[in-house]
Amino acid sequence: MHPFIEIFGLKIPSYGILLLLATLTGYLSVIYFSRKEGLETKKLENLFWVTFLSALLGARVFYAVEHNLSFKEFLKVWEGGLDFFGGFIFALITVVVGSLYYRLPLWKVADVAGISLLLAHSVGRLSCWLAGCCYGKPTDLPIGVVFPPQSVAPSGIPLYPTQLMEATGNFIGFLILFFLYRRGKPFDGAIFSLYLIWYGIERFLLEFVRGVTPSIPGLGLTWNQIVAGGMVLFAIILLLYRKGK
């Protein structure tokens, strides 16, 4: 909606500013919940920054492949264009390897990562809103928003505010998991599993009104919906497995 913020005559990409804010939010959340889990804060700090860089790379690589970006365009991260699932896959691998390297309990780390990711992702989607990426399909409903010509999103037509819808859904999910955390999680890995279920369902439904990813011919679903459905299925199996331990 506002791709640039002007400060003292200097135009700064709003996407980058909100991305930094999301990173800071995620960092503070990781520190807070790692202390509640009794984990070594210094190790979690190191793992967080390595995971952040890995996720950023993965998100950009997947976006570049999906949109056929040139190498020069690939480097302009501040202009927007990150694929969440690409970042998630890279981050997941990094967390598993990092937990083994630092000899940290994997499922406790996963719980910290899951709830922190929901909070950071809710802030991160606001950067998409400002840049106009990850936009929705055209709509005649009152919730439709019109982006300015300088945005990534098509201008001049009302679109579903999918960025705000996802940001809201993520924040509600964070509040629910935070409440469960305070009541006492039943076992290690429960919070992470519930995160996968919550976001998997949320993203599956949102894809029906997102205007970015085309449907798979003959199937009517996007690749993101296939991945989201897989997240939910994996999480249910994980819940049953961890509950029986």
- Give the number of other Cβ atoms within 10 Å of residue 176's Cβ: 15
Cβ-count burial of 236 within 10 angstroms (0-12 exposed, 13-18 middle, 19+ buried)? middle
Does the annotation place 203 within a ligand binding site?
no
The 8-class DSSP code of residue 77 comes to G
Helix extents (H) in 37-137: 41-67, 71-75, 84-102, 106-131
Give, for 26, the enclosing helix (H) or strand (E).
Answer: helix 14-36
Nearest to 110, CA basis, from 95, 121, 122, 100: 95
Binding-site residues, in ranges, read 125
